[in-house]
Amino acid sequence: MAIGVFIETGSPNDLCSHPIWYGLGVLSTIGLTLFHGWLGFSSGLILCIFSISQLNIFIRSLSNFSRPGGWTSIGLGFGISFLIYDLLELIHTFTVAYAFVPGGEIFREHTPIVLAVVIGLIGIGFFGNQYDKRKEEENELVEEDFVEKGLIRKALGALILGAVLVMWFRTVWKVKEVLPYHPEDRTLKAGIWTVHFGIDSGMWESQRRMRDIFQELELDVIGLLESDLQRIVMGNRDLTQFIAEDLGMYVDLGPGPNKHTWGAALLSKFPIVNSTHHLLPSPKGELAPAIHATLDVFGTMIDVIVSHNGQEEDPKDRELQSIELARIMREAYPRPFIFLGYVVSKPHAPRPAPYQILVEDGQMLDIERSDFDRWCDYILFRGLRRVGYARVTRGSKPAVSDTEIQVGSFQVPPD
């Protein structure tokens, strides 16, 4: 963002108003849509720089354009701008939340179209802005303008230096050593929780309360579901960063926001040796994420799945998703395995419900076959000694989530 402001304030040759600059913005939008990994990340950075470089120009252009009509005209101009922004923000949310919106199917996974509309609207402003056309009338202010921009650049330089120092401090001094809670017993305690985007029932941020609960339960491995906050409406935040840093844990985020799921995350006190992200088959309903990771637990390789099946309104999706999860677990046999998943199924429900498919086809054991009061979350395992099982209250006044935490404690047999 600072680079974008630097370019806007330090380009006497009108770089930010040149068509090639807009072309770079278009190409970065395409790259963000088409590519993943570092290419997609780099494209997103370029798009951010381009967008920020236009912000001041657009604001000044809108102000100059509306000025002849007085404050009413200025207010109307900015009001329409914010209305368009809000509509685009709503539609961008519908690309994931289509299952909860009447007629939402038309928005399913259409983020590229939303981005195309956004960059197109920026193009209209880019080529039609009034600010550059008034430069000849403002020649007498050019010298003062450059002095003002010089001060802005110096302030930005100080801000960037401060940000780098803060990042260095957090990286070097704040990172805790990652250690399991009870290595002397070779035990691993795993939990699964659907956290609904880190917002409690009172609509307050709940990361600190989640941290306290995880610490009290001494969880070594945590599966979080509905954890993707990297959207405009959620503040583009990372739900796991604070918890992982404060508790000293490794973290793996599942399929990203461009995959149009509600998100899954894995936090671990043990090194994550390998991780694969999956989009489970979802021909009709919500897209379902899964993380398949291998952990180094006291020298033993143990596989973990964190997954979120679809809802009961889409039985075919649920069946296909369960078949795929069972395949992953079956093909990893005889390696020890822990399944932490949002299943939405009665215990021992026959096919095509997920339970029987996951347990039998996946060659797994239910952590507590006699518990018939489960519905959403389930823990399955194999190749480990079951030590304990608990269902923990979701917290109260206000509740952290409307779902409970399920916890399983296991002992890792010596090789």
Catalytic residues: 308
Separation CA 180–CA 248 (nearest Å): 9
Separation CA 161–CA 153 (nearest Å): 12
Work out whether strand 187-194 and strand 221-225 pair parallel, antiparallel, or are unpaired.
parallel
Work out whether strand 337-342 and strand 300-308 pair parallel, antiparallel, or are unpaired.
parallel
Residue type, 360: E
Separation CA 69–CA 45 (nearest Å): 37
Cis peptide bond prior to 398, omega within 30° of 0: yes
User: Encoding tokens for residue 100?
Assistant: 């909860």
Helices (H) and strands (E) in the chain, counts: 10, 12
Cβ atoms of residues 137 and 127 within 8 Å: no
Q: In whole angstroms, how far apart are CA 401 and each of 44, 111, 235, 240?
A: 32, 28, 19, 16
Q: End-to-end distance of the chain based on CA atoms, in angstroms?
A: 51
In three-state secondary structure terms, 302 is: strand
Going by C-beta distance under 8 Å and a sequence separation of 6 or more, which residues neighbour residue 271?
Answer: 178, 250, 295, 296
Instruction: List the one residue out of 280, 301, 294 whose CA is nearest residue 250.
Output: 294
Cβ atoms of residues 282 and 199 within 8 Å: no
